[in-house]
Amino acid sequence: MTHQLVLRKPLAFFDLETTGINTAKDRIIDICIIKALPGGEVVSKTQRVNPGIPIPLETSMIHGIYDDDVKDAPPFKAVARTLAQFLEGCDLAGFNSNRFDVPLLVEEFLRASVDFDVKNRRLVDAQRIFHLMEPRNLTAAYKFYCDKDLIGAHGAEADTIATLEVLNAQVQRYSGRVARTDSGQDVVFDNDMDMLHSLTANRNVDLAGRIVLNSEGVEVFNFGKHKDRPVLDVLQKEPAFYDWMLKGEFPLDTKRRLTEIKLRMFSNVNGKR
């Protein structure tokens, strides 16, 4: 398999099969990574994982992976460093990856105490491009862009291969066309990862979207009683809210970003003394 994407660094397409859709509680049971290299080649890695918790029957009926299928697989912690090394220096791509796969993968790495951050990585979500241009799902996208039926849908390898082919077809089809981002900015669609990142990126500060940037670029809460209030303002006026979030069932990445903001607040206060 080859590709025609214009890359300055590897672009790792990946898809997860999991125990559910809660990024804070659920676990990976299958991951496939297909790494598109700048020269046009691709290399792949697929790994089954024992989640350490039962797989709900309703979930198994979707992806076809049951407890017995992963009972002898290693836990994520045992393969985390190998996966992180395989993803070293890569931008990340997937289908609905910005909202689900990337946040859950980061959570697993954090639980395994493996440093894996996405701050300096471009995140390209083929589903976001598809919904902007031709609103549907992966099976329909594969048929629309590649004129193929997606055999083995909801299997990590089949979905990942399909996503690579879909994004490859998207850059060929839409090159030169104007697309409008969520912020209302018009951009010319091009075979360029910076453009694709800007087109599919969101304004989340943490991957779960509990903290976002408002229209003025200020970090605000995106849930509950403090929704739309600046995070710094809440932390200054209601310090207990920070402790409540750290003790609550929020993703580790959310707690990490909140702590970074709090530390920055202390740094600014000390700098003024």
Domains and CATH numbers, the chain: 11-173 (3.30.420.10), 211-271 (no CATH)
Residue 101 pLDDT greater than 80, yes or no? yes
Give the pLDDT of residue 148: 93
**Per-residue model confidence (pLDDT) at position 181:** 77
Q: What is the three-state SS of 9-62?
A: CCEEEEEEEECCCCCCCCCEEEEEEEEECCCCEEEEEEEECECCCCCCHHHHHH
Question: pLDDT tens, 128-142?
Answer: 998 888 767 899 899
Which pairing describes strands 186-188 and 91-94: parallel, antiparallel, or unpaired? unpaired
**What is residue 198's predicted lDDT score, i.e. its pLDDT?**
85
Rounded to whole angstroms, how far apart are CA atoms 49 and 31? 8
pLDDT at 68 (0 to 100): 97
pLDDT in tens, 103-128: 999 999 999 999 999 989 999 999 99
Residue 175, Cβ neighbours under 10 Å: how many? 12
pLDDT band at 73 (very low <50, low <70, confident <90, very high): very high
Segment 231-253, tens digit of pLDDT = 999 999 999 999 999 999 999 99
Share of the chain above pLDDT 90, in %: 79
* Whether pLDDT at 151 is above 60: yes
The predicted-structure confidence for 162-220, as pLDDT tens digits, reads as follows 999 999 999 999 999 988 777 667 889 999 999 899 888 888 999 999 999 998 999 99
Among the listed residues 247, 246, 219, 214, the one whose alpha carbon sits nearest the alpha carbon of residue 234: 219
Q: For 261-272, what is the mean pLDDT?
A: 76
Alpha carbons 231 and 223: distance in angstroms, whole number: 11
Instruction: Indicate the pTM of the whole model.
Output: 0.74
- Residue 31 · residue 16 · CB < 8 Å: yes
Tokens of 179: 């697309």
Q: 14, exposed or middle or buried, with CB in 10 Å at 0-12, 13-18, 19+?
A: buried
- Per DSSP, the three-state class of 269 is helix
Question: HEC profile for 66-128?
Answer: CHHHHCCCCEHHHHHHHHHHHCCCCEEEECCHHHHHHHHHHHHHHHCCCCCCCCCCCEEEHHH
* Residue whose C-alpha is closest to residue 181's, from 136, 128, 219, 124: 128
Q: What three-state secondary structure class fits 254?
A: helix
Q: For residue 178, count other CB atoms closer than 10 A to its CB.
A: 9
Which pLDDT does position 254 carry in this prediction?
97
